[in-house]
Amino acid sequence: MNALTVSTAISVGRVHLITNRQRSLTVARWRALWLALLFVAISVVALVRIAFLGVSDRATTVASLEEALLPPRGEITDRNGVPLARAFPAYALWYNPDALGEDGEPLVKDPKQVAAELTAIFPDLDADDVAEQLASGKPGYIRRRVLPEDANRVQAIGELALEMPQETDRYYPQGHMAAHVLGYVDAMGNGQVGMEQVLDKRLTDPARRGEPAALSIDVRVQGALEDELRRGMLAVNALGAAGIVLDVDTGEVLALASLPEFNPNKIDVEGESYMFNRVTNQVYELGSTFKPLTVAAAIDAGVVRDFGYHYDAGPVPIAGYTIRDSHPLGATLNVPEALIHSSNTVTARIADELGAERLRQTMIDLGMNERPYIELPARGMPIWPDGEWSRIRTMTVGFGHGIAVTPLHLASAYAAMVNGGIWRPATMHKLAPSEAPRGRRVFKASTSARMRQLLRMIAAYGTGRNANAAGYRVGGKTGSAEKPGAGGYQRSALISTFAAAFPMDRPRYVVVAMLDEPKGTTASSFQRTAAWNAAPIVGNLIPRIGPLLGVRPDDARDVDISDLRPLIGGVDK
């Protein structure tokens, strides 16, 4: 019984065991399967996550830092990296009456109280005007520029209607300095007038705007030039002034100023009237500063060979007119004397002897018949006599009348005259030493050497004595031309120019200073000619910029003029 029970029990137990085993095997298999699936799922998730981390993170954070530090518009710097124009993250103060909802009062406090609190932060605001604006309920700017610290104080007033949208702004730290070179950025974000317009694409290109654009300008030289020009202009009550400092070997413009200037930080109607650039846009008859060019062309052509030869200095009757000198200089003059005393008659005779064709070709080689070569958008077309030049035209062009060019034309021509005879286009871009343009030869090197002597003699003994800065070996020529007006030339309205180069033993820089309608004042000893107003500007400027540009004053060094010095015996000093 017992055995039976036991045996059945065993058999039943065995069956159970087998079923149990099979069941647990199935469960275990299922579990293993689930577990494997889970692992696969987790590894898939992990892989996806890793992929997400790897892919998405780099795309978002790194770029955001770079983007945040990338200026919305590239910086413009001078040749030494001093910023001249930069994008400036600024806040504006905008009044939004709908900030608290469409209906109801736009402000929590009384408009007068808010206006008083605003004027406490910005003392230049008018409390009544602001209160009126706030009370009117019309949206509008209260201020275009707010500094971050002031923005915090405005937030502390606690009015939601006073919004502080962040606006990128173009800021010129040097104020109105170099305004004509830089230009400005208009409300639409487009560059205008100067290099802002020229470099517009480059300054807004995301790939390149991170790198500042370097100009050829040197801030210190530009500052000195504007300072001296302004002083000279105010001293003689002139309408305007223009100046340029040009590197003779590369054509880089170190400084370029046109006065009166405008403020690119604040464009107004008055500023807009000063936007035309006297250096590159306005053409003038520059007068006697052309005489050295004529003489250089004559030396180059072999017309002037003997510097001791005495030319007739009497009036030249030609085609019904008579060319005279401003004051009688004697019956005869040789070439150095003619330049030193700035004789119209002798230069006219030399130009006549040289002939229309050769003088015309030299002027064409110097680029006087086309707009000046510079990147700036405002470039004036010279008044160039078309066709065959008559005899009288040749003579007047010889002393700088009947042809009107920009001061930049003159500076480039003087650079070619003193640098060994190579004319190069002027540029506003900073050039690497290897990038200087090859240029074209206009004068022989020997002619250039002669002209250095002659220009040095004008500054040492002639009309340019006021520009003869001690130790800087300045050479240059004055020019005082009457302005053309209704019914011929106006005797009282002059354009005074001084075109100079220094140091003459190895010329490095050309300086041109020009004054528009200077008056005779005490400061200019009641004279209106360039010797008394434009030349002193250059004489004051060169000692200020020379050491900055690597030209050391040296009393023991000068261009050798010993072969020409005896020819001008009558000159004092």
β-strand pairing of 76-77 with 213-214: parallel
Catalytic residue among 216, 288, 343, 412: 288
Q: Kindly tell me which of 117 and 228 has the beta carbon lying closer to another protein.
A: 228
CA distance 529 to 536: 11
Q: Kindly tell me which of 15 and 62 has the beta carbon lying closer to another protein.
A: 62
Q: How far is CA 300 from CA 304, 354, 412, 424, in A?
A: 8, 10, 18, 18
Q: How far is the CB of 304 from another protein (least distance, A)?
A: 34
- Provide the mask over 185-224, with x wherever binding to another protein is found by CB under 8 A and - wherever it is not: ----------------------------------xx-xxx
Q: Kindly tell me which of 217 and 242 has the beta carbon lying closer to another protein.
A: 217
Q: How far is the CB of 54 from another protein (least distance, A)?
A: 11
Q: Give every CB contact of residue 398 below 8 A, 6+ residues apart in sequence.
A: 290, 291, 294, 347, 348, 350, 351, 352, 354, 359
Sole window of 208-216, 344-352, 389-397, 541-549 interacting with another protein (rule: CB under 8 A): 541-549
Tell me which residues in 252-311 interact with another protein (CB under 8 A).
Answer: none
CA distance 172 to 420: 38
CA-atom Rg of the chain in angstroms: 39
Q: Does 33 bind another protein (CB under 8 A)?
A: no
Question: Which residue in 206, 275, 217 sits closest to 85, CA to CA?
Answer: 217
Backbone angles phi, psi at 555, to 5 degrees: -75, -20
Q: Does 227 bind another protein (CB under 8 A)?
A: yes
Q: Kindly tell me which of 49 and 201 has the beta carbon lying closer to another protein.
A: 49
Q: Give every CB contact of residue 36 below 8 A, 6+ residues apart in sequence.
A: none
β-strand pairing of 316-318 with 422-423: unpaired
Q: How far is the CB of 77 from another protein (least distance, A)?
A: 11
Q: Does 135 bind another protein (CB under 8 A)?
A: no
Coil/strand/helix, residue 300: helix
Q: How far is the CB of 210 from another protein (least distance, A)?
A: 13
Structure tokens given for 513: 């200073």
Question: Which residue in 258, 241, 246 sits closest to 221, CA to CA?
Answer: 246
Q: Within 10 A of 409 (CB to CB), how many other CB atoms are there?
A: 29
Contact 448, 535 (CB under 8 A): no
Q: Does 506 bind another protein (CB under 8 A)?
A: no
Residue 396, H or E segment: helix 391-398
Q: Does 165 bind another protein (CB under 8 A)?
A: no
Q: How far is the CB of 62 from another protein (least distance, A)?
A: 9
Tell me which residues in 466-505 interact with another protein (CB under 8 A).
Answer: 470-471
Maximum Cα–Cα distance across the chain? 169
Contact 263, 271 (CB under 8 A): yes
Q: Residue 383 gets which letter from DSSP?
A: B
Structure tokens given for 486: 């209704």
Q: Does 508 bind another protein (CB under 8 A)?
A: no
How many helices (H) does the chain have, and how many strands (E)? 18, 19
Sole window of 131-139, 168-176, 190-198, 399-407 interacting with another protein (rule: CB under 8 A): 168-176
Burial of residue 399 (CB within 10 Å: 0-12, 13-18, 19+) is buried
Among 14, 16, 23, 49, the residue binding another protein under the rule CB under 8 A is 49
Question: Which residue in 404, 390, 504 sits closest to 454, CA to CA?
Answer: 504
Among 79, 543, 549, 571, the residue binding another protein under the rule CB under 8 A is 543
Q: How far is the CB of 70 from another protein (least distance, A)?
A: 11
Q: How far is the CB of 547 from another protein (least distance, A)?
A: 6
Q: How far is the CB of 233 from another protein (least distance, A)?
A: 14
Q: Kindly tell me which of 42 and 445 has the beta carbon lying closer to another protein.
A: 42
Q: Does 440 bind another protein (CB under 8 A)?
A: no
Among 555, 562, 569, 573, the residue binding another protein under the rule CB under 8 A is 555
Q: Does 171 bind another protein (CB under 8 A)?
A: yes
Q: How far is the CB of 57 from another protein (least distance, A)?
A: 7
Q: Catalytic residue at 288?
A: yes
Among 13, 54, 158, 173, the residue binding another protein under the rule CB under 8 A is 173
Q: Does 88 bind another protein (CB under 8 A)?
A: yes
Q: How far is the CB of 158 from another protein (least distance, A)?
A: 24
Q: Kindly tell me which of 400 and 536 has the beta carbon lying closer to another protein.
A: 536
Question: Which residue in 353, 406, 407 sits closest to 384, CA to CA?
Answer: 406
Q: Kindly tell me which of 271 and 372 has the beta carbon lying closer to another protein.
A: 271
- Provide the mask over 54-83, with x wherever binding to another protein is found by CB under 8 A and - wherever it is not: ---x---x--xx--xx------------xx
Backbone angles phi, psi at 124, to 5 degrees: -85, -5
Report DSSP letters for 94-150, one per residue. EE-GGGG-SSS-S-SS-HHHHHHHHHHH-TTS-HHHHHHHHHHT--EEEEEEE-HHH
Q: Does 233 bind another protein (CB under 8 A)?
A: no
Size of the site for another protein (CB under 8 A): 45
Q: Does 17 bind another protein (CB under 8 A)?
A: no
Q: Residue 58 gets which letter from DSSP?
A: I
Q: Does 553 bind another protein (CB under 8 A)?
A: yes
Which residues bind to another protein, rule: CB under 8 A? 28, 31, 35, 38, 42, 46, 49, 53, 57, 61, 64-65, 68-69, 82-83, 86, 88-89, 147-148, 171, 173-177, 219-220, 222-224, 226-227, 470-471, 543-544, 546-547, 552-556
Active-site amino acid positions: 288
